[in-house]
Structure 1
């Protein structure tokens, strides 16, 4: 038999799921923050802006981080304060996923190659801990974005093995399963350099070599009917650099005189790059053969005899003894090749790719989608691509400058506007929606909740971790992309027409995209709602680890005390709104939650807080980020 409390919670659950659709929609455009003075108005506006910024630059704002940034915004202004915050974040040393995974193992009393315990799961534990607690939040958030561009997944050959091996010269490899953590750290550290440098690091990383089969790629042998593998050749163009069609610098698609889209490459270009990316093998310190033992911890090296040397194998016997990349003829190779010669040729090919005019709008759009919004305007893209093409000091593809341009651009905060109101004195938040918004990534819904709840952990050495299996519920988990195309496509559109809305002229595609909706279905929606419901009603998260379990406890004692008095419900909702919705929750949503609670005056303060938190989390105001 259902209890009174069960019915109470059930009412809030249904209200949250249906989005309070029975309420007055005229009020859905504004949330209210009452203030007592003009000075408080300035600080409240700063807090709303700080929360909105931090939701895009970190794995979720905390009350402390909101207050700190808001104070600085009040002192020096929004752009200067956020710019300083970005500089401070990039000055922090990168947190190493590989090192953290190894430390958790040692805390547990295990070894990286301990057999039979699922030791590879430690890399997911390390990822969760760093996302939830890392000081270098911006770097880690950008690395998460980059990992969804330069994609690899844990289904790659050997990625979960618990073996290590000798590679000569007294050297031993890292354990195979740590290779993906090593790859992720490469992305994190690559933020300090240029896009071109990162593209080379990605090209030479053995995990990418195995994922897209460039490792072990051999030159052609016509008599044997063998031609170079073209997998990496395709994906480096389609996914990692230029995309399928030519773009203007503001993201618009170019067309020919007949109005047709213009492809960026053809099959001949794929073949040329297939020839270029030959001869890669694992690094070994003593053996010179092609098939040396697996080594996921060091960049691949070149086996010169298997690199395409431009001689005696072309389908066209009259073809020039060189390779061409986007119209750039790479320097001829000498008759007697060395590793340095081959690396120079590959480097020249990567230069030609990185210099393609499509790279700036293509990569900048992907980064904006992962950090800020699904549909950046033409002007936003143009401003960011200008920085990509030249950071002001003549450097192309400076990733720190690009990230700063994305996160300090006015379009980041134009999705919502805090406005001063009188009678009574307050700040109203006006949201703009649609082109200014996006569905939150499932992972970010989880991390932002936990980080905001003043969490503590019972695990040794303060480790705060979730299970890899969370990904099976929400459709997304680090290291677990189902294919090189990521969890969702950047141009995904949910089925059906968008009723009553036409994209504005500021939109470069005359169409709207919603990537995250590709993994939102009946199964993931239901599992996510149930998971969040469990966490909020228990006020903790708990999962089994390789040794014991990790419980992350939410500390809402101040809110529990406030909830003793029904007059404080508005204050509690405003706090949850700021932490989890960046101040964008409508008064209609808040009223629906509050009325449901007032209908059960005998509920305890604990029940009130748990239900309010759950309803806020499940509301469309929270699921859709402005």
Structure 2
């Protein structure tokens, strides 16, 4: 069975951060059984925010018509009904507290491949539909993901596929389907390396045009109304904007010319929009690039930015076969349950010697930096300060608010000062965002909680409860600075402190003693020296290179 350090490292890779209860569970069950249990855990549900009423009402000014003047509901109408803020609250609450950790992590990884951003879309209920779809299909099949993404009315808006006419189709979605969502721009070997040692283009603009024609003739699902049109129905073949369900086909607006796609696939002249879509999906799923292109990115999100060609090849082989050591969802090629099991149970992922390999691991992305801290310390959050307008922005990764369809950072971003190594998350690492990490650690332990009072919940937020950690879990052990540091070293750093580093942290923690009564007994600051020791240790370890870089 795994040691505590092995269990902690496994959880760093597959969850939003270890806590002591989950470390014990992994030790008891072993890696494989723990994964199987995660596959069967019920999916967390996005629930906050307004309904589809914003697109089904005949009111021309929804917020003013819906809510009385002078109330908080009207003041927060855009936030609660049109923005992704309510989803951010749910995301962080559930990432910190809910048991379906692997499903949530997988959906978070998929959301950074098939990107939709609130910077160019609006409609809270529509975003809720899209991101819940990724959770629901996180252990399904990648072809299903591509189909759902293609028919998503939110994606249709974001990349201009909705209401694409046969006469002059927009190429945006077709291009990103190839470039980002499936095959990439360069021909690859199964192991993710460039075929022939150089970049040979996988497609040209003629190919993009053929795909865009094949994907014409889709409009919004029925149900939307537009108060600016007669009787709420606009002219033409398009349905009004509506983001619940899948887009529907309109055969009269679908291209009928024969189109040559990739992978030896041809869309015949006589076809329906649904038949053309199936041909599009066949062509990308059968392309030899899809397995290594998607597999390598998933490895990068979970384990390491620089997987060996052998690691990529093993996972890509599982992608193509749909099974891994008896683990499968039974969906065939593209089975994501088999793929994620192959990623997390691969010898390269589980090799403890990799913790000292300078080319292994990855910079912890900001979202995982925040959730890891809260989970380790038994924290709770309503998500408010972790989203776009607070620390999400400060660290460069506000969830659901990617600056473009290319995500927050590219998968091939080079490690600064070390040509040949990739470091995707360094694409958003700069002086200000790195300082944002330290500021978060400082704020969580030194400002929000028990230094001038708790970080107060926002009364206008659903299930608002503030953001705080649970010091009581560690106070008894804080009497012994060494014991406290050892516990946190396991939780946060997988035991990676050297003996010298550990001694330095212990010395810093021991500066808080029972003699500090004048400050600790102030009536406006409820604390004790054990609690201050926890804060000191937490800030040092969360700011350390060992926490910043996951190995």
TM range (shorter): 0.7 to 0.9
Counterpart residue number, 2:345:
408
Once the two structures are superposed, residues 582-610 of structure 1 have per-residue CA deviations (whole angstroms, 9 ceiling, x without a partner) of 22222232222223344665553332221
- Give the SS at the match of 2:466: strand
Asked if 1 retains the 8 angstrom alpha-carbon contact of 2:485 and 2:502, the reply is yes
CA distance in 2, matches of 1:329, 1:92: 38
Which of 285, 299, 302 does residue 246 from structure 2 map onto? 299
1:22-421 correspondence to structure 2 within 5 Å:
46-72=3-29, 81-97=30-46, 99-101=47-49, 115-117=74-76, 118-119=79-80, 120=83, 121-157=85-121, 159=122, 176-220=123-167, 227-255=168-196, 260-284=198-222, 289-310=236-257, 322-334=258-270, 341-392=272-323, 395-414=332-351, 416-417=352-353
Out of 471, 475, 493, the residue aligned to residue 560 of structure 1 is 475
Between the two proteins, the alignment pairs up a number of residues equal to 492
Q: Distance in 2 between matches of 1:495 and 1:146?
A: 26
Deviations 1:329-384 (A, max 9, x none): 434233xx7xxx21111111211111101000000001111111101111111111
Aligned to 1:166: none
Q: Deviations over 1:110-131 (max 9, x none)?
A: x998543121321211111111
* Secondary structure in structure 2 of the residue aligned to 1:346: helix
Match for residue 491 of structure 1? 412
Q: 2:421 aligns with which of 500, 503, 512?
A: 512
Is contact 1:219-1:228 (8 Å) kept? yes
Change (3 A) 1:292 1:391: closer
**1:327–1:433 CA distance, 2 compared to 1 (3 A):** closer
Deviation of residue 454 (structure 1)? 1.8
User: Which residue pairs with 2:455 in the alignment?
Assistant: 542
- Shift in alpha-carbon separation, 1:186–1:593, aligned structure 2, 3 A: same
Q: Equivalents in 2 of 1:115, 1:289: separation in Å?
A: 34
Contact kept in structure 1, 2:260 and 2:267, CA below 8 Å: no
- Give the match for residue 77 of structure 1: none
2:360 to 431, 436, 442: 436
Between the aligned partners of 1:586 and 1:324, the Cα distance in structure 2 is: 59
Cα gap change, 1:302 to 1:193, in 2 (>3 Å)? same
CA distance 1:432–1:467, change in 2 (3 Å): closer
> Counterpart of 1:25?
none
Asked if 1:593 corresponds to 2:505, the answer is yes
> Are 2:402 and 1:481 aligned?
yes
CA contact (8 A) 2:374 2:380 kept: no
Cα drift, residue 467 of structure 1: 4.6
The DSSP-based 3-state class of the residue aligned with 1:402 is helix
Partners of 2:264 and 2:439 in 1: CA distance: 55
Distance 1:555 1:517 in 2: 31
Give the C-alpha shift of residue 611 in structure 1: 0.7
1-structure distance, mates of 2:415, 2:188: 24
- CA distance in structure 1 between the partners assigned to 2:418 and 2:12 by the alignment: 30
Instruction: Report the CA distance between 1:412 and its aligned residue.
Output: 1.2
Q: Structure 1 residues 342, 456: CA separation in 2 closer, same or farther (over 3 Å shift)?
A: closer
In structure 2, C-alpha distance between the alignment counterparts of 1:610 and 1:600, rounded to whole Å = 10
Q: How many angstroms apart in 1 are the aligned matches of 2:43 and 2:434?
A: 34
Measure how far apart 1:402 and its partner are: 0.5
Q: CA deviation at 1:199?
A: 0.6
- Partner of 1:435, secondary structure, is coil
- Aligned residues: CA RMSD: 2.5
Deviation at 1:569, TM superposition (A): 1.6
For 1:524-557, what per-residue CA distance to the aligned partner results, in whole angstroms no more than 9, with x for missing partners? 1112211211212257473653616532332222
Cα offset, 1:435, TM superposition:
2.0
CA contact (8 A) 1:207 1:296 kept: yes
- Relative to 1, partners in 2 of residues 1:542 and 1:182: Cα closer, same or farther, differing over 3 Å? farther
Q: With the length of structure 2 as denominator, give the TM-score of the two structures.
A: 0.84
Q: Which of the pair has more CA radius of gyration?
A: 1
| Runs of 5+ unmatched residues, structure 1 | 1-41, 73-80, 104-110, 160-175, 221-226, 311-321, 418-429, 458-462, 499-510
- Rounded to whole Å, the distance in 2 between the matches of 1:353 and 1:307 is 20
CA distance in 1, matches of 2:456, 2:471: 21
Q: CA deviation at 1:261?
A: 2.3
Q: Distance in 2 between matches of 1:571 and 1:492?
A: 39
What's the secondary structure of 2:3's corresponding residue?
helix
Deviation at 1:285, TM superposition (A): 5.8
Distance 2:395 2:383 in 1: 19
Q: Deviations over 1:67-96 (max 9, x none)?
A: 121123xxxxxxxx2221111111122112
Aligned 8 A contact 1:131 1:447 in 2: yes
Preserved CA contact (<8 Å) 1:573 1:590: yes
Larger displacement relative to structure 2 (527-536 or 367-376): 527-536
Give the alignment's TM-score, normalised by structure 1: 0.74
CA distance in 2: counterparts of 1:188 and 1:551, whole angstroms: 25
Counterpart of 1:184 in 2: which secondary structure? helix
